[in-house]
Amino acid sequence: MKIVFATNNPNKLKEIQALMPSGIEIISLKEIGCTEDIPETGKTLEANAFQKARYLKEKYGYDCFADDTGLEVESLNGAPGVYSARYAGSQRSAEDNMAKILNELNGTKNRKAQFRTAIALILNGEEQLFEGFVEGYISEAKQGAKGFGYDPIFLPENETRSFAEMSLNEKGAISHRGRAIRKLVVFLKNQ
Ligand code: IMP
């Protein structure tokens, strides 16, 4: 089975390819000639994931799936949430986004946070949604250099290491995206 994954983020592509069984081939946007920014203007992760998948299906005709992820910080009332990519501005800088959160949590005891991922699948004309989340904490400072996005400041529950200090497989075993992807894989295998 071949399926397009609607992302321009090479890190996400790597994470997802590592979690797919050998019978399912993931095709990147580059490979189908889609180089534009896919609109994501929804107010929820789920809406954004479906918006991206439907755009791709309508414009390019491929069966596909798209993910949208947000970091939800309890003491910031769930922010940045669906606005995680542009939290510190339209430059979409991971460094600026992390600095903003560390600054906002400066001196705050409650550092609880979670990552949440919604994956929208369009296959044979039908839509499906898969979700995954991981609870944890925002660290006091950045830790590690692997991964991407907010990984250096997120400590999953019962861990002293951040996601940025873990291998692809270690992160995938417990991460929001790993959990959502495993549900997607079970579904795809049953098709
Ligand atoms: P999106 O799902 O690509 O829209 O991501 C929203 C924001 O969350 C971006 O700033 C990403 O860098 C960040 N993000 C998405 N997935 C992860 C992850 O697994 N770890 C850390 N940050 C992530």
Q: What is the DSSP letter of 66?
A: E
Check: CB of residue 148 under 8 Å from CB of residue 84.
no
| R_g of the chain computed on alpha carbons | 16
**Per-residue model confidence (pLDDT) at position 181:** 96
Q: Please give the single-letter amino acid code of residue 64.
A: C
Phi, psi dihedral angles at 171 (to 5 degrees): -65, -45
Mean pLDDT of 11-16: 91
**Per-residue model confidence (pLDDT) at position 177:** 97
Helices (DSSP H) in the chain: which residue ranges? 10-19, 45-60, 94-104, 168-174, 176-189
Q: Ligand 1: does its nearest atom lie under 6 Å from the Cβ of 15?
A: no
Q: Ligand 1: does its nearest atom lie under 6 Å from the Cβ of 84?
A: yes
Mean pLDDT of 34-49: 95
Please state the atom number of ligand 1 nearest to the C-alpha of residue 9. 3
Q: Ligand 1: does its nearest atom lie under 6 Å from the Cβ of 114?
A: no
For the entire predicted model, the pTM comes to: 0.96
Delimit the domains of the chain by residue range: 2-189
Question: If you take atom 7 of ligand 1, which residue's CA is the nearest one?
Answer: 85
The band of 8, judged by pLDDT with boundaries at 50, 70 and 90, is confident
Q: Which residue has the tokens 């497989």?
A: 169
CATH fold group of domain 2-189: Maf protein (3.90.950)
Between CA 162 and CA 136 the distance in angstroms is 10
Query: pLDDT for 62-85, tens place per residue?
Result: 999 999 999 999 999 999 999 999
Q: Ligand 1: does its nearest atom lie under 6 Å from the Cβ of 168?
A: no
Question: If you take atom 6 of ligand 1, which residue's CA is the nearest one?
Answer: 85
Our mutation pick for probing the ligand 1 site, out of 38, 71, 171, counting the most ligand atoms within 8 A of Cβ, is 71
